Structures are given as C-alpha cells and as structure tokens.
C-alpha cells in the first residue's frame, strides 16, 4: 500500500511492486507455494523431492513473470521510481534466497541435524528482507520526497 500511495503518474512500476508484495502476503497466508508449487506441480514431476522441486519451479515462474512486468514498466518509469525499484530488487533477491533457497537446502540436506539453524536462517532472512523492502519504500529522497522535518 505504501508503494501504491507513492506511485504518481508514470510510476506503474511502483504499482507492479505493490501488487507483488500483496501477492507475497497472500502466498504466505494461504501457503500457495506449498499447495500449488509443492503439491500440484511437485506431484506431477514424479521425482524424489518433487514437492521441493515444485516449490522452486513455482518461485521461478513467479520470478520470470515479475521480471517481465518490471521490464515492461521500466522504460516509462521516472528516475525516482527506478531507484526505489533497484532497492526492491535487492530486497526480493534476499527474500528469495532466504525463503526459497534456504527452504530448498533444508529439504535436501539432513533436516534433523541442522533444522534449528536452517529455520532461524530462513525466518531471519525473510524478516531482514521485508525490513529492507519497507525501508526502501519509506526512504525519503528516493522519489523527490524530502525528508520529514526533524522533531523539535
């Protein structure tokens, strides 16, 4: 919602980001990556760890769709919206590394031996990534918005 509210005329790219983060929230709440990726896609693969590979394929399809939508909007984006987008690319890369990468590794390696460390790494990485995304979205000066006046 913050990104949507900052999107002015010609900032469709920020609207794409806002919709993406809305999707992330829905995906997390309804466990779409597990239901669609793990059960539906993974079940059709017919391989060992199909559930886990299905989740990775689901994330890859989402990433490709995101990249296409962002590339389409990039050409018309204002300079400030592009700067915000670069920060969000980093946050989403961190989120993907923690949420998809660490989750995949935890399924492939011996989960019992490293389970607590991997859960901490995954959850902690996701929290850091979302904190970075929020900071990027609220950071003054990235799109011509000046910093708020200091408290007196």
pLDDT tens by residue, 38-63: 788 877 888 887 778 888 888 888 88
* Spatial separation of the C-alpha atoms in residues 93 and 126, rounded to whole Å: 10
Residue 69 neighbours by CB under 8 Å, 6+ apart: 16
pLDDT tens by residue, 115-131: 888 889 989 999 999 99
Q: What is the pTM of this model?
A: 0.78
């Amino acid at each position: 919602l913050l990104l949507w509210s900052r999107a002015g005329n010609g900032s469709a790219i920020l609207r794409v980001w806002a919709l993406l983060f809305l999707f992330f929230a829905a995906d997390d709440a309804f466990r779409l990556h597990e239901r669609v990726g793990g059960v539906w896609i993974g079940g059709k693969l017919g391989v060992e760890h199909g559930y886990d590979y299905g989740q990775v394929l689901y994330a890859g399809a989402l990433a490709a769709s995101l990249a296409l939508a962002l590339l389409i909007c990039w050409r018309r984006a204002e300079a400030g919206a592009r700067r915000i987008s670069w920060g969000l690319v980093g946050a989403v890369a961190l989120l993907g590394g923690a949420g998809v990468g660490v989750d995949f590794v935890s399924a492939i390696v011996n989960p019992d031996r490293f389970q607590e460390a991997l859960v901490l790494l995954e959850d902690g990485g996701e929290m850091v990534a979302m904190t970075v995304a929020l900071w990027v979205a609220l950071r003054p000066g990235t799109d011509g918005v000046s910093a708020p006046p200091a408290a007196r």
